[in-house]
Chains A and B, each alone.
Chain A
Amino acid sequence: MTAPLTLSHYMIVAGLLFLIGFFGALTRRNIIGILMSIELMFNAANINLAAFDRFLHPGGVTGQALALFVMTVAAAEIVVGLALLLAIYRGTNTVYAEDFNLLKG
């Protein structure tokens, strides 16, 4: 508990967060749950980017700048995803991924 914090501490937390998000994206039936799980995975990647900056390149900001880009893309993704969900819900009246068979014909 009192051992100094290393890069692998942060990488393990980020890895566990990624795995939790991955499990959620694979198993949630509700499409909003899937979108939330994807956000968790984005955050796991961002923790790693910030930790690489702190531990491997002290004083550098490239990782943090990349994390900001990831954050922007995640915001755009969730906005379009939720808008699509609203449009699909209007047609099918369901939020469960297995009921989305609009393309089946």
Chain B
Amino acid sequence: MLDQIVFYSLAILTLSSALAVVLHRNTVHSSLFLGLSLAAVAGLYASLGADFLFGAQIMVYVSGIAVLVMFVVMLLGRASDLHLRQVNERWMAALLVCAVASVGLFKVARLHSATIATGVASPSTHNIGRLFLSDWILPFELISLVLLAALLGAVFFTRTENAR
């Protein structure tokens, strides 16, 4: 019973704040709702027993990406933008595409309507660490290279000409 309460409340929080991200006219509010939605997704990870993913989600998304987006919104925002339309004129076509995609997604989801969780969720941090440093050592090192490239790219793109 507790499982269901936790799942449904987190799911409703995730989806309603995601809708607010997409539909809100004010981008600052949008980015705040993004933080809320990502935190609720972290709660969903916790309900799945993915403890390391829960921590990483809070650290990387809620306190990293959401705050970064908020900084940029406030750096670029203008008060006059609040009166402008934030949705382009092709939203009907987009809604149609989403409706068609939803049919396929729900067909796939219905295949697993009898799959229930077996056993108890166990802590996974230890096993993830073992996996990263044994079998997956090459992708693990490659992803740190990707992060380094992103860091350099961000510095390269944001520097001004006269600061060289």
Given contacts A43-B61, A50-B50, A76-B149, contact A24 B22 (CB under 8 A): yes
B49 to chain A, nearest CB (A): 6
> Contact flags (1/0) for A80-105 with B, using CB distance below 8 Å?
10111111011000010010000000
B146 to chain A, nearest CB (A): 5
B-side interface residues, number (CB < 8 Å): 89
A8 and B110 contact, CB distance less than 8 A: yes
A24-81 interface with B by 8 A CB criterion: 24, 26-30, 32-33, 35-37, 39-40, 43, 46-47, 50-51, 53-56, 58-59, 61-62, 64-65, 67-69, 71-80
A35–B65 Cα distance when bound, in Å, is: 11
B158 and A83 contact, CB distance less than 8 A: yes
A89–B76 Cα distance when bound, in Å, is: 8
Q: How many A-B residue pairs have CB under 8 A?
A: 241
The one of A16, A58, A76 in contact with B117, judged by C-beta atoms closer than 8 angstroms, is: A58
B63 to chain A, nearest CB (A): 12
B74-122 interface with A by 8 A CB criterion: 75-76, 81, 84-88, 90-91, 93-95, 97-98, 101-102, 105-106, 108-119, 121-122
A82–B37 Cα distance when bound, in Å, is: 20
A86–B93 Cα distance when bound, in Å, is: 30
Find the residue from A15, A39, A43 having the highest chain B CB count within 10 A: A43
A-side interface residues, number (CB < 8 Å): 73
Q: What are the residues of chain A within 8 A of B124 when measuring CB–CB?
A: 61, 64
Q: What are the residues of chain A within 8 A of B75 when measuring CB–CB?
A: 86
The one of A50, A74, A77 in contact with B48, judged by C-beta atoms closer than 8 angstroms, is: A50
B18 and A27 contact, CB distance less than 8 A: no
Does any Cβ of A come within 8 Å of B143's Cβ?
yes
A78–B72 Cα distance when bound, in Å, is: 11
Chain A residues near B (Cβ < 8 Å): 1-13, 15-24, 26-30, 32-33, 35-37, 39-40, 43, 46-47, 50-51, 53-56, 58-59, 61-62, 64-65, 67-69, 71-80, 82-87, 89-90, 95, 98
A-B contact sample (15 more), CB < 8 A, given A58-B118, A95-B76: A5-B116, A6-B112, A10-B44, A11-B108, A17-B18, A23-B91, A23-B94, A26-B94, A29-B84, A32-B72, A47-B45, A62-B131, A64-B128, A68-B128, A84-B157
